[in-house]
Chain A
C-alpha cells in the first residue's frame, strides 16, 4: 500500500511539474496582469504607476472624453457592418462554391488568401486603392468621369466604411472556408428528400442547412468578433485614426494613452471597460462551446 501510494504521488508529481509553465503563464501573464490593469484603473497613474486610490474618477473622465466616445461609436458601426457583410458574403461564397463549380479550389484559394496576410498589409493596400489622388477616383477622372468621387479614406463621414471594406476583404474568406467545410458534412439524403418534396434550394439552405451548421457559424462569428475588438493594426496602417479623430477605435485609444500621452490611469480604465465587455459577451459562448461536454469524449 505504501509503495503504491508513493508511486501514485511520484507519477503525478511529474505531470504537475510539466504543467508549471502553463500555470505560471495563466497566473502571472494572464490573471496577474489583468488584475494589475484593473487595479491601476482606480489610481491616478500618469506616466508612472501610482498606488493611490481615486475610485471611479478615471472612468468618469474616460466617458467624458470625446475621443473615447468617438472610438466606442466607431467600433459599434464597424462591428455591425463588418459582422453582417462578412457573414452574408462568406455564406453566399460558400453556397455558390458548393454548386459543383469548376475550378473550385482556385475560387477557394482566391477568397481566403487575404486572411493569410497581415492587417497592416490589408490597411495599406486599400488605403492606396481608395486614395483619391492615386486609386480608383483618379483612374475614373483619367477616363473622363470627372464627377466621380470615391474619397472614403480622406472623408470623415466615410472613412469607417473604408476600414469596413478592408476588413471585409480580409475576413470573409474565413467565413467561406468554415461554412464550406460545414456544407461538405451535410448529409446528401437531405438534398434528395427536399428535391422530391419540391422545396426550392434557397429555402433548404435557410431553413434546414444553415441551422445544421450552427457550430461553424458560432466559430466564425467568435473569430470575427475577436478581430474587431483587437482591431488596431489595420487602423494604424490605413488612417492612423484620421482624418481628425474620425476613425479612432478603443484599442488605439488605449495604446495612445499608454505610450504617447502618458496617461496610464485613463488607459487602464479603458482597457478594463473592454475586458468587462468581452468577458460578458464571450463567457456564455465559451462555456457552451468548450465546457458543456467533458474534455474526453468517452
Chain B
C-alpha cells in the first residue's frame, strides 16, 4: 500500500508518486503553453517590423524591438476609408460602456429588490419570461428592434446601443441581484417597514449600501460583456459610434494590399486590454460572476 494515510507525515515520495507528480505538471504545463501561445504570438509579432514579419517566423522573438506597429494601430490604421486608428473605437467603446454599465446595474438592483422583498402580482411570470429571453439568440430580436429604433428616430445612435445593452443585460443583472437579495435576512426589511420606511427609502439607505459585493461582480460581468460585444455594436451603434471590436475587425479584414500583421496584432492586443485588465485585477470575483450568473444562489 503506497497510499499515504495523511499528507501531513513528511516522508520521501515513492517512485510511483514522483511520476504521478511529474505527469500532473507535464499535463498542466503543456496545456498552459497551448493557452498562452496566441497571446505570445500576438505580442512578439506586434513588436516586429514588417520586414521581420515577412520572414514568416511567427514564433521567434523580435530581433529589433519596435513599437511602431502599436503607434500605427492606435493612431493611423485604416478602418475602411478613414485612417484614424483604434483610438476612435476606444473612445466609442467607453462612451457606450459607461452609461450601459451604470444603468443596467441600477435597473438590475431595482428589479432584484422589488422581486425579492415586495409582493407584486405577476412579477415572477415577468421574471420567468425575462430569463427565458436571455437564452434566445439575438437574431430573433434584432430586426424588430431596428424598426422600432428607426421609427423613434434613434437608430444608429448612442442611445440606441445603450438601450440595447440595457435590454440584453437585464436578465442576468436581475437574476444576480435577486439571488443576492434572497440571501439577505428578511427581518432587516421587516424592521425597516415597522419603522415606517417606504420602498425607495429602504432601497437607497439599506439595500443598496449592502449590495457592494454583488455590485462589484455585476460591474465585472457587464464591463467584460459590453466591451467584448460585436454584433449589437455593429447593428445598433451607427457609423459614428462603432465600438472597438467592430473597428478591429474592420482594420483586419478590410485591408487591401499587403496585410500589416504587426499592426493587426497590436490592434488586437489593444482591443483586449480592457477586459484582460479587468480579468487580471478581479481574480476570483470574475469566476464568481460566471457562477452566480447561471446558478441559483
Contact = CB atoms under 8 A, between A and B. Distances in A.
B115 interface: yes
B191 interface: no
Contacts of B123: 19
A119 interface: yes
Interface in A229-258: 229-230, 232-233, 236-237, 240, 251, 254-255, 258
B131 interface: yes
Interface in B160-218: 166-167, 170, 174, 178, 182-183, 186, 198-200
Interface stretch (A25-33, A78-86, A154-162): A25-33
B113 to A, nearest CB: 8
Contacts of B114: 15, 18-19
Contacts of A121: 245, 248, 268, 271-272
Contacts of A258: 139, 142-143
> For B57, B141, B229, B261, which residue has the most chain A Cβ atoms within 10 angstroms?
B141
B28 A96 contact: yes
Given A16-B120, A125-B268, A233-B231, A286 B56 contact: no
A111 B279 CA distance: 12
B145 interface: yes
Given A22-B170, A129-B38, A142-B56, A33 B276 contact: no
A23 B120 CA distance: 12
Contacts, number: 276
Contacts of A128: 41, 45, 58, 261, 264-265
> For B245, B249, B283, which residue has the most chain A Cβ atoms within 10 angstroms?
B249
A134 B58 contact: yes
B25 interface: yes
Interface stretch (B29-37, B70-78, B94-102): B29-37
A117 B128 contact: no
Contact of B56 (A93, A133, A173, A279): A133
A63 B108 CA distance: 40
A238 to B, nearest CB: 10
Nearest to B252: A124
A286 B25 contact: no
Interface stretch (B8-16, B61-69, B79-87, B287-295): B287-295
Contact of A134 (B42, B116, B224, B261): B261
B136 A279 contact: yes
A266 to B, nearest CB: 12
A210 interface: no
Contact of B144 (A21, A37, A174): A37
Interface of B is mostly: helix
Interface in A51-91: 89
A15 B120 contact: yes
Given A28-B148, A118-B275, A282-B132, 18 more contacts: A14-B199, A18-B113, A22-B174, A33-B141, A37-B141, A116-B224, A117-B276, A120-B228, A120-B245, A125-B39, A128-B264, A129-B41, A177-B287, A181-B287, A195-B3, A237-B252, A295-B116, A297-B182
24 contacts: A18-B110, A18-B199, A21-B107, A22-B170, A29-B141, A30-B133, A37-B141, A109-B280, A116-B275, A124-B252, A124-B264, A129-B41, A142-B56, A174-B290, A178-B287, A216-B291, A219-B294, A226-B135, A255-B139, A268-B143, A274-B140, A278-B137, A289-B294, A297-B182
Interface of A: 11-12, 14-16, 18-19, 21-23, 25-26, 28-34, 36-37, 40, 49, 89, 92-93, 96-97, 99-101, 105, 107, 109-122, 124-126, 128-129, 133-136, 138-139, 142, 169, 173-174, 177-178, 181, 195, 198, 215-216, 219, 222-223, 226, 229-230, 232-233, 236-237, 240, 251, 254-255, 258-259, 264, 267-268, 270-272, 274-275, 278-279, 282-283, 286, 289-291, 293, 295-298
